[in-house]
Structure 1
Amino acid sequence: MKRQPLTSKLLVLGVDGMDPKITKKYLAEGKLPNLQKFIDRGAAREDLVLLGAIPTITPPCWTTLATGAYPGTHGITCYWRQSPESLDAVVYNMDSRNCTAEQIWNITTEAGMKTLVWHWPGSSWPPTSQSPNLSVVDGTQPGSVNMGVAQLDWEKVIVANADIKEVRYAPRVDKPAGVGCVISDLEDTLDNDVDDEMMELWWGDTARQGGEIRTYVMDDEDTEVVIGSKVAYDIVNSPLKDATGWANAPEGAKEFTILTSGGVMRRPALILKNEAGEYDRVAIYKNKKAEAPIAIIKKGEMVSNIIDDVTKKEVTKPACRSMKILELDPAGTQVRLWISNALDIANDMLWHPKTLFQEIVDNVGVVPPVSLIGGEDAELVREIFEPSWVQYNKWQADCMNYLIKEKGYEVVFSHLHNIDCAGHQLWHLAKTLPEWDYTDEKVYQGFIEKFYLQTDDYLGEFMHLLDEGWTILLVSDHGLIVGENVPPILGEYGGLNTKVMEELGYTVMKKDENGNSIREVDWEKTRAVQIRGNYIYINLKGRDKTGIVDPADKYALEEQIINDLYNYRDERSGRRVVGICLRNKDAVILGTHGPECGDIFFSIEEGHNRLHGDGISTSEGYHETSVSPIFVAAGPGIKAGFTTDRIIRQVDVAPSVSALLGLRFPAQCEGAPIYQIFTEEI
């Protein structure tokens, strides 16, 4: 039975990590004017809450939004996928071929609607339909478009002054808080194995090669929050001296050297005076004989779309960078310059059809890089990390608006990652905890606000569509909490969590000569392991290569583990750590059952949560934050100025899209249309 459509054009604006609770706080303070207009013209719950799927982590939740199915049904059950070969390893997961439920965009394209899926992580790439009506951009990682495949060089800070005697390069320096960028013991920082491993594991294409990823989370230093807040960058130290040997250096200019491409490519640079005789800008050249600079960076401005050659693995390609002066002494005694990561400007690997890439480059511009550094360094967050996302947000909005206007897309599913990316670096610093007592929580609370303000600007770029007959849905996958405590080692989504399971006697690690645990499981003594965000696996004979537990004893062992987890108390807070703990067969009530989930599902109790992935959607945290995602709808087919009491679930979004467009529901859909907010009965 076909239904009459309530709208003919629909845009889903997905904002990763956007939390309705803190959104309400900023709305009440009048800081989100565009979102307020959107709410006034549309419908939502009073609290703006969307009840999220479980696990509350990016790929499962975006896939639930796209399919209307729970993770146990669609098969994307964490950030990573459990390795079929090893209990202590994970494999790449953001691949549409792993999804066992139908995506909503297959239905819109089937109906002849020109559809764009823009960077939707978890289940959009490779394209899920060969219909000429479907266009897909990336979706293989959550960061930013092309982040995973176009990276050629990493971010760096260049420091030049007269006291530095020679040009030196240090890759991936994990800069402690309060330490300057002049490296005196450079050799101590060098690591021949550093290359791009960290960058490509989390953001790049190394993980997509299909091999196992084995990460042991044994103490706080192994956790994603700690690692994410100390993102490394390259440091270059250079002498700063009077310019000599230049074809056309202005009078009074001083020169320094920039090293890129892993330190193998040199770019000479000048600091230049203004009319008042003060140094206020930097000019970067390909070589000293060049008549014109590659870029001129004025103090206080972030300059993007700087195209320069970059060499990686002996291959040289043109790449796009952004740059900003962090410090430039007006007297010309010192300069600090940030240079972004470099993105290959011709990489169209994750664009379908590939002609779409060139269309965007020609009419909007090359893909801009975003910064991934900042964390505990408030200066870098303020001057680099946050402003780089402002630039990226504008580029993405311009791309989508261009494609809607000029290419006639009728349905658009989009994802933006700015708030979530900030959360993984910054949110834990918005409460003064013992491990980070050298940071100011008020400063980091201010950074949270800045990312919401820039998101409001992004939403404002699409408000005109409401006047042009478009229906717009604002959704997120989850919110982000500011943690109340430093959590115990349990529920960390990046790998094998050993500490609590070791204390309880289920996981046994091999020991060194001093009796300390090493990063290797003693499988002959290990009965169960906790891996990924929410799963425990029994080391079962006949199923697992390392199995020691008789299948006849599995049920009783599960009961024992569940009891012990409920009884476990955090040594720092004295409080219970585990909130919900269920066998796989019982976890069907949460949608976390089936072959891609563990033998036991558990969640972390509120108060001990990390940012989001280890708890449930209703968890709340410090500074009026929560794990809940957001939902607002406006435009044709949606009641204006309407508030509903209905509990809206992520599984309800896809069938609501179908109902609004008058189309069939996804084949495995388990949700229902949010009919209470529609202008017509269905």
Structure 2
Amino acid sequence: MIVLGIDGMDPGFLEAHWSALPNLDRLRRQGEFKRLATTIPPQSPVAWSTFITGMDPGGHGIYDFIHRNPETALPYSSMSEVSDPERTLSIGPYVLPLSKGRVRSLRKGKAFWQVLSDHQVPVNIIRMPTNFPPLECEGASLSGMGTPDMRGTFGTFSFYTSQPGAAARQAPGGQIVPVAVTNHHAELRIEGPANSMRKDRARSFTTLAVDIDPAEPVARFRAGGSTLLLKEGEWSGWIGAEFPLIRGLKSAYGMFRIYAKKLKPELMIYVSPINIDPARPELPVSEPASYSRDLARALGPFYTQGMAEDTAALRQGIFTREEYLAQSRLVAAEHLRILRYGIQNFREGFLFFHFFGIDQNSHMLWGKYDRELLETYRLVDQAVGWVLEHAGDSAVVVMSDHGFAAFDRTVHLNSWLLKEGFLSLEEPGKTGNEELFAHVDWSRTQAYSLGLNGLYLNLAGRERNGIVAGAERAGVLGKIQERLTAFTDPKTGARVVDTAYRPADTFRGTELANAPDLIVGYRPGYRSSWQTALGAVPSAIVEDNTEAWIGDHCIAAHFVPGSWLSNRPGRLADPRLQDLPVTILRHYGIPPEPGMIGRPAF
């Protein structure tokens, strides 16, 4: 069996473009095409965790990209955590590890491919989201979405420029670094991971030297032992980087790509997030560890960063749309090369491959740039053609975790809670973009929002400064739900929220402790603001979305179903995401695991 997980592939977009997607059209004619009900909320970490475990969030415990610590109201990644070694030795400015650090997935439940392995079914799991670090299994797996860069983030680019005023610019998702060009030469400090062997955890770094031709728009770049020439507007290949931790004794290794955006009269150089080198991984990106090295040996280096398309660079105006699409094509070419290699070597068992390009490009193109988005769908269609060519009698499923909708208006949910009297500030005028509830008066706050869909009560005995007593919980939630569903856009009069779900009434399982008290399901066109996601309280409540990020799916689930295509007709009129792992196990004659809530599709 072969399953292609195409993140964000929208059923409505498919229906509008079958003639341009002959292999997907052929697949649906051989078997079936249906809408696939997604999770509440329809966020990728939540949806893929359901696909992996066959459980809803009440079972696997993932409710958002961002969870919060109730003791501090501080956010943290829902997918994984990295802990330092427990035993160390201090020598001067250094801290030497005497035991290993730990990287741990926060998802609960057993993955379906572990069950397959238990029954001696060979598996190859390529770029599975929320599978960092990769689970141990009798087979091979490469991690996908959730895999960090070498700085421990989901992707932090660097933009080096000699433009005046560069030091004053902020660029969330990246850093803008002023540089001086002297006699056509510049030295760029490329920052890598925080040095865990130093007490001050100063960032390790390497140097990229740039020599600009005085006559032509071309430059020589030197880093470590690598030297290359780039014309203005050209991309480099991967450049290996050594980041000394204890000079002469211990280093960390990564890799990056350069885009020579402008060489003169001002220097503008984009440096990608520092990726974990698959040939020399500092953190686990595959299982077994040799698998990423084998892929790198066969195919060359590739993006290991889970979300590799640099949407942040477009959002912050570092890339033009065409430059973003060029970078996206580089990512797609590498990842589809891995798929083709996997398909060519597929002989038996189960193969999964995840493609993220449609999701990331839909965020930046949805509703306005269909021609450019169709290009990415066509890449997937070509890949489906390769798969069908090599599949023989294998069952083939192409599915997505959710669809897409327009993101026209941005909702500051904490500001709405302030207006409705559920949240209070230390001083009424202290609204703004400061994050982490900087001016919230917790002694008078009943509810707050963090993440893209979550709303929490300031519950006594759970939150550090909680004021809502347990006996008042249902009443306060009821009031908030009622007012949310009556919430209208002050500019248009349209309803903003479709549904406010109570996890306790919606999910089943043992992992409800981290759940928000309400999950807010917006109507199409609306989404929580970036400021809300990190606990800010701006002065406005609803504003026009003026960013380059114009499509989204973090709304009420029934508006953004995923897609299901198979070369075999199914038995379900209303397939759901949790049906897939049960279907996969059933295909091999294996019963579902305890806690799986899906039905076999065939």
Does TM, scored on the shorter chain, surpass 0.5? yes
Match of 1:170 in 2: none
The whole-number CA distance in structure 2 between the counterparts of 1:455 and 1:153 is 24
The amino acid that maps onto 2:140 is S
* TM-fit CA distance, 1:148: 5.8
In the alignment, residue 632 of structure 1 is paired with which amino acid? L
Name the SS for the 2:439 alignment partner.
strand
**1:497-508 superposed matches below 5 A:** 498-508=414-424
Of 285, 288, 293 in structure 2, the residue corresponding to residue 353 of structure 1 is: 288
Between 380-389 and 545-554, the greater mean CA deviation after superposition: 380-389
Equivalence for 1:238:
181
Q: Given that residues 255 and 274 in structure 2 are in contact (C-alpha distance below 8 angstroms), is that contact kept between their aligned partners in structure 1?
A: yes
Residue 338 of structure 2 aligns with an amino acid whose one-letter code is C
Q: Which amino acid aligns with 1:521?
A: V
Q: Report the CA distance shift for 1:301/1:533 in structure 2 as closer, same or farther (over 3 A).
A: closer
Q: Is the 8 A contact 1:272 1:283 kept in 2?
A: no
CA offset digits 1:2-55 (Å, max 9, x no partner): xxxxxxxx2221122221212322334x2x34433433444223xxx2111111
- Aligned mate of 1:113, from 93, 112, 121: 121
Structure 1 residue 503: Cα displacement: 0.7
CA deviations over 1:85-105 (Å, ceiling 9, x no partner): 34x333332147543433211
Residue 57 of structure 2 contacts residue 507 of structure 2 at CA under 8 Å; is this kept in 1?
A: no
| Residue correspondence of structure 1 range 127-276 to structure 2 within 5 A | 127-129=134-136, 131=137, 133-139=138-144, 141-142=145-146, 147=149, 155-157=157-159, 182-189=162-169, 232-234=175-177, 236=179, 238=181, 255-262=184-191, 265-271=207-213
Question: Contact 2:430 / 2:439 at 8 angstroms: preserved in 1?
Answer: no
SS of 1:499's partner is helix
Gaps of 5+ in 1: 1-9, 159-180, 200-230, 242-254, 274-278, 432-441, 491-497, 620-626, 676-682
Alignment correspondent of 2:62:
76
Count of residue pairs brought into register by the alignment: 531
- CA distance in 1 between counterparts of 2:261 and 2:49 reads 40
Report the CA distance between 1:407 and its aligned residue.
7.8
Does residue 580 (structure 1) correspond to residue 499 (structure 2)? The answer is yes
| Partner of residue 387, structure 2 | 462
Shift in Å at residue 304 of structure 1? Answer: 1.5
Q: In structure 1, what is the Cα distance between the partners aligned to 2:239 and 2:503?
A: 52
Q: Does 1:412 align with 2:354?
A: no
User: Partners in 1 of 2:155 and 2:474 — Cα distance?
Assistant: 51
Task: Name the stretch that deviates more: 361-370 or 90-99.
Answer: 90-99
Are the counterparts in 2 of residues 261 and 312 from structure 1 also a CA contact under 8 Å?
no
2:235 is aligned to: 302
The unaligned stretches of length 5 or more in structure 2 are 81-103, 192-204, 529-550
1:615-661 Cα deviation digits (max 9, x unpaired): 22332xxxxxxx22111122xxx24xxx9881111111111112222
SS of the residue 1:69 aligns to = coil
1:62 aligns with 48
Contact 2:64 2:451 in 1 (8 A): yes
Inter-CA distance 380–22: structure 2 relative to 1 (3 Å threshold): same
> What's the offset of the Cα at 1:361?
1.8
Q: Which moved more, 1:296-305 or 1:542-551?
A: 296-305
For 2:370 and 2:244, locate their aligned partners in 1 and report how far apart those are by CA, in whole Å: 39
Contact 1:586/1:593 (8 A) holds in 2? no
1:594 and 2:512 matched? yes
Q: In 2, are the aligned partners of 1:83 and 1:89 still within 8 Å (CA)?
A: yes
Distance 1:182 1:447, change over 3 A: farther
SS in 2 for 1:375: helix
Matched, 1:482 2:406: yes
Pick one of 439, 456, 460 that aligns with 1:541.
Answer: 460
Q: Give the SS at the match of 1:562.
A: helix
Aligned pairs (5 A) from 1:365-514: 365-368=300-303, 370=308, 372=310, 373-376=312-315, 380-403=319-342, 405-406=344-345, 410-424=349-363, 426-427=364-365, 442=368, 444-467=369-392, 469-483=393-407, 485-490=408-413, 498-511=414-427
Who is 1:618 aligned against? 558
RMSD: 3.7
* 2:38 aligned with 1:35: no
TM-score of the superposed pair, with normalisation by structure 2: 0.77
SS of the residue corresponding to residue 603 of structure 1 reads strand
Quick check: 1:587–1:601 contact (8 Å CA) kept in 2? no
Distance 1:282 1:383, change over 3 A: farther
Residues in 2 aligned to 1:294 and 1:150: alpha-carbon distance in whole angstroms: 27
Deviations 1:262-282 (Å, cap 9, x if unpaired)? 497241434498xxxxx4754
With over 3 angstroms needed to count, the CA separation of the structure-2 counterparts of 1:409 and 1:616, relative to structure 1, is farther
Match of 2:90 in 1: none
Matched residue SS, 2:36: coil
**CA-CA distance at 1:337 after TM superposition:** 4.9
The yes-or-no answer on 1:674 pairing with 2:593 is no
Q: After superposition, what is the alpha-carbon deviation per residue over 1:397-423, rounded to whole angstroms, capped at 9, x for unaligned? A: 333443454586631233222222334
Contact kept? 1:154, 1:234, Cα under 8 Å? no
* Conservation of the 8 A alpha-carbon contact between 1:151 and 1:343: no
Q: Distance in 1 between matches of 2:128 and 2:450?
A: 25
- Does residue 603 of structure 1 match 2:521? yes
User: 1: distance between equivalents of 2:347 and 2:282?
Assistant: 21
For the pair 1:23 / 2:28, whether they are aligned, the reply is no
CA separation in 1, counterparts of 2:123 and 2:272? 33
Counterparts of 1:344 and 1:541 in 2: how far apart (Å)? 43
Cα distance in 1 for residues equivalent to 2:2 and 2:483? 47
Q: Distance in 2 between matches of 1:461 and 1:150?
A: 35
| Amino acid in structure 1 at the alignment position of 2:283 | M
Q: Specify the SS of the correspondent of 1:519.
A: coil
Once residues 358 and 295 of structure 2 are traced to their aligned partners in structure 1, the CA distance between those partners, rounded to angstroms, is 24
CA 336–516 in structure 1, closer or farther in 2 if over 3 Å, else same: closer
The 1:382/1:579 distance shift into structure 2, 3 A limit, reads: closer
Report the identity percentage: 18
How far apart, CA to CA, are the structure 1 residues paired with 2:499 and 2:154?
A: 44
Q: Deviations over 1:115-150 (max 9, x none)?
A: 12223223x344445x4x1333224x44xx663668
Question: Which of 611, 619, 628 does residue 561 from structure 2 map onto?
Answer: 628
Of 596-605 and 112-121, the range deviating more from structure 2: 596-605
Call closer, same or farther: CA 1:405–1:594 in 2, change over 3 Å. Answer: same
Deviation string, structure 1 residues 190-234 (Cα, Å, up to 9, x no partner): x9xx9xxx65xxxxxxxxxxxxxxxxxxxxxxxxxxxxxxx5544
Question: How far apart are the structure 1 equivalents of 2:510 and 2:527?
Answer: 19
Q: Is the 8 A contact 2:185 2:211 kept in 1?
A: yes
Instruction: Tell me the distance in 2 between the aligned counterparts of 1:515 and 1:309.
Output: 45
Letter in 2 for 1:629: G
Shift of 1:237: 5.2
